[in-house]
Amino acid sequence: MPKPILYSFRRCPYAIRARLALQITGFKTELREILLRDKAPEFLAVSPSQTVPALVLGSQVIDESLDIMKWALQQNDPGGWLDMPSDGHALIAEADGPFKTALDRTKYAIRYPDEDKLDHRARASKFLYQLDQRLQQGYLFGQKPSLADMAILPFMRQFAFIDKDWFDAQDWPDLKRWLKAFLASGLFLAVMGKYPKWQAGEAATIFPASANI
């Protein structure tokens, strides 16, 4: 079987979390960096959603980031990320649903002229206060990271940098500690390497390039 192919875009939080899981598991793929404004026809031909990430496993395509994470961790889960209570999945669903909706309408307010940016920022903040309370124990479900932490953190990064001064002024110390540690971690740095746009016929880029972090 040819090496699995991961279509990705460096800054996309969905793609980041897929890469986090592949990095920690050590599952090797051929990484193909996509430009969202100029998607390669090979990518469009295999991805049902036509959004990154997409993991091509022979004739099988997994094009939902959370499904890629779960699939990779089912092959190898050295950090025990799948060892979390069932409400971890509900927390991820809240992050992917109402929180992401509010995030988008805060970050990309120009796309939603009939909606109130500050109202959506306030809605997102309620979720962040909820997380801050959970994070008093270190991570969302104890003293080590879980799937929930790693599925949600890329979106915390995206939200924080909409207005970093405002974010830093908020009263959620454990959330800020959690995010700061993530951004400084070897795992995050390992998945944020810069790659040129993929072109058919060029030498393959192997990801992850190094051993588990």
pLDDT in tens, 79-124: 999 999 999 999 999 999 999 999 999 999 999 999 999 999 999 9
Q: What does the domain layout of the chain look like in residue ranges?
A: 5-78+189-207, 87-185
Tell the CATH topology of 5-78+189-207. Glutaredoxin (3.40.30)
Question: What are the distances in angstroms from CA 30 to CA 18, 97, 124, 192, 207?
Answer: 14, 30, 35, 15, 6
pLDDT of residue 213: 57
Provide the mean pLDDT of the chain.
Answer: 95
Q: Is 42 exposed, middle or buried (0-12, 13-18, 19+ CB in 10 A)?
A: middle
Over residues 159-188, mean pLDDT: 98
What stretch of H or E contains 5?
strand 5-8
Q: Which CATH class is domain 87-185?
A: mainly alpha
Place of tokens 């699939």: 71
Nearest alpha carbon to residue 92 among 42, 40, 131: 131
pLDDT of residue 23: 97
Q: Is 198 exposed, middle or buried (0-12, 13-18, 19+ CB in 10 A)?
A: buried
48 preceded by a cis bond (ω within 30 of 0): no
What is the percentage of the chain residues whose pLDDT exceeds 90?
Answer: 93
Over residues 62-76, mean pLDDT: 97
Residue 126 has pLDDT above 70, yes or no: yes
Over residues 122-141, mean pLDDT: 97
Over residues 26-50, mean pLDDT: 93
Residue 14 has pLDDT above 80, yes or no: yes
Nearest alpha carbon to residue 85 among 141, 138, 26: 141
What is the band of 2 on the pLDDT scale with cuts at 50, 70, 90?
Answer: confident
pLDDT of residue 1: 65
